[in-house]
Amino acid sequence: MNNNPSAYMSVGRGCFKKAFIAALLSRHTTADIETLVRAELGWNCVYCGIGQEDAQIELDHLWPESTGGCLVIGNVVPACPTCNSLRRDTPWQAFMMRSGRLGRPRDKNEGDAEIAFLMQYMEKYDQTAEPTLNSTLTRLELEILASLELMLSAVSDGALAKAGHKKRQAIRFNDPEKMFDELVSVVAKYIK
């Protein structure tokens, strides 16, 4: 049993930050994405080749959402639920080579050509570089995220200090007055 309140605080901060990042990333999506992807790639699973008559086709992120990949043209491809869930965060090229195609093993040349085709699709929409929060989010969104982290630290520090954990390393704001000033300056930035 872990009785260290700073451990709980850091877990709580992590979850909150993750949810907030997901919300910011969701602002970066291509409108009417399915129509655009259909026009570029058709609507068969790019991995196993199964069509919509036989499976409920979904959109699979080439750069995974977990590393900042967005629902944008050039980063999503049609995939069947089986391939989508089997792939998880495996690099798509590796998954392409090891998945079968229309019920038979994939031929090496065929796989290379399909990978080259999808690379062109990514290039066309400037999606070849691995995304990061810095490359995906706008400057304002990054600023808001940094401010949010500061506020979360201040709130958890306040709670820890109240619980008598003043001397813990996890506390970032030892000086309550300074903490107050920092919070006011963060809030003032967005309320004008």
Least separation in angstroms between residue 113's CB and Zn ion is 18
Kindly tell me which residue out of 9, 47, 70, 121 binds Zn ion, with binding defined by CB under 5 A.
47
In the window 97-156, what residues touch Zn ion (CB under 5 A)? none
The candidate with the shortest Cα–Cα distance to 138, out of 8, 58, 27, is 27
Is residue 37 close enough to count as binding Zn ion by CB under 5 A? no
Least separation in angstroms between residue 80's CB and Zn ion is 3
Least separation in angstroms between residue 128's CB and Zn ion is 23
Kindly tell me which residue out of 45, 57, 72, 76 binds Zn ion, with binding defined by CB under 5 A.
45
Is residue 80 close enough to count as binding Zn ion by CB under 5 A? yes
Stretch that binds Zn ion, among 4-12, 46-54, 62-70, 172-180 (CB under 5 A): 46-54
Is residue 46 close enough to count as binding Zn ion by CB under 5 A? no
Is residue 48 close enough to count as binding Zn ion by CB under 5 A? yes
The candidate with the shortest Cα–Cα distance to 72, out of 37, 21, 45, is 37
Is residue 76 close enough to count as binding Zn ion by CB under 5 A? no
DSSP β-bridge partners for residue 104: 101
Q: Which residues are near Zn ion by CB under 5 A?
A: 45, 47-48, 80, 83
